[in-house]
Amino acid sequence: FPVSVVLPAGGTGERMGLQTPKQFCSFLGRPLISYTIQAFESVSWIQSIVVAVAKENMDLMMDITQRFKHRKVLVVPGGSTRHRSICNGVLALGEERSAAGKPKVVIIHDAVRPFVEEDFLCKIAMAAKEQGAAGAIRPLVSTVIATTSEGYLDHSLERAKYRASEMPQGFTYDVISQAYQRCSESDFEFGTECLHLALQYCGTNAKLIEGPPTLWKVSSPGACFGLGITLSRSAC
């Protein structure tokens, strides 16, 4: 069955304090996002990869696509929030109909999680096709606590009961496109969990699958150094 991918890569790097957004930072002479794209491009059953990037980075992304010979990539403008970027990508898949055909399943993955592997993508795609939605989870490595506005402990959560929601997530095209059509402005602004949008607006409860630690997201320079990865502060 046809599977396409949406990579939200519209972040501008403000939180990490980088001049270049982390997805475009160089790792061993190649931009991080190029590794993520490669992880999908090497999978024969994936038909297309839509990358949503901020308008100011579209030329850079086109250049990366050409330089690293990414053949399955379509670059679209990102949005002001992660959800808007994903939504733009999903809409583009609908419009792409004549070229590659509307996919049965859409996999959503962060551009900054370069180590995703085919066998796990296969689990997500199969579960999404059967259940309508599927998502990767990981056990929590830290206990989550709520704090008071004065900076004291309010309450703590029982760690064993909770999981971290990771990427990739998969949806049938119909579920993800309808969820975005029906959701509210505040869902777009506050970044409501995609799996939650599917449940709330389509009545589709996602199958949750525990993923490997390699689903790890590059979220801060510290996290990169922990794995021995040094991101250069400039695009390569």
Which of 89, 103 has the CB closer to ligand C5P?
Answer: 89
Helix (H), strand (E) at residue 94: helix 82-95
Q: Could you tell me the smallest distance in angstroms from the CB atom of residue 82 to ligand C5P? A: 4
Which of 76, 131 has the CB closer to ligand C5P?
Answer: 76
- DSSP letters spanning 157-222: --GGG-EEEEEEEEEEHHHHHHHHHH--HHHHHHT--HHHHHHHHH--PPEEEEPPGGG----SHH
Rounded to whole angstroms, what are the CA distances from 216 to 3, 25, 123, 223? Answer: 23, 17, 17, 9
Query: Of 109, 98, 169, which is closest to residue 137 (Cα–Cα)?
Result: 169
Q: Could you tell me the smallest distance in angstroms from the CB atom of residue 215 to ligand C5P? A: 13
Q: Could you tell me the smallest distance in angstroms from the CB atom of residue 12 to ligand C5P? A: 7
DSSP letter (8 states) at residue 118: H
Q: Within 13 Å, how many C-alpha atoms sit on residue 203's CB side?
A: 0
Binding residues vs ligand C5P (CB under 6 A) = 8-11, 15, 23, 52, 78-82, 85, 110-112, 219
Helix (H), strand (E) at residue 97: helix 97-100
Q: Could you tell me the smallest distance in angstroms from the CB atom of residue 24 to ligand C5P? A: 9
Q: Could you tell me the smallest distance in angstroms from the CB atom of residue 158 to ligand C5P? A: 25
Which of 6, 202 has the CB closer to ligand C5P?
Answer: 6
Question: Is residue 124 within 8 Å of residue 169, measured between CB atoms?
Answer: yes
Which of 78, 131 has the CB closer to ligand C5P?
Answer: 78
Q: Could you tell me the smallest distance in angstroms from the CB atom of residue 110 to ligand C5P? A: 4
Which of 52, 179 has the CB closer to ligand C5P?
Answer: 52
Q: How many CB atoms lie within 10 A of CB 182?
A: 12
Question: Is residue 9 within 8 Å of residue 61, measured between CB atoms?
Answer: yes
Which of 110, 187 has the CB closer to ligand C5P?
Answer: 110
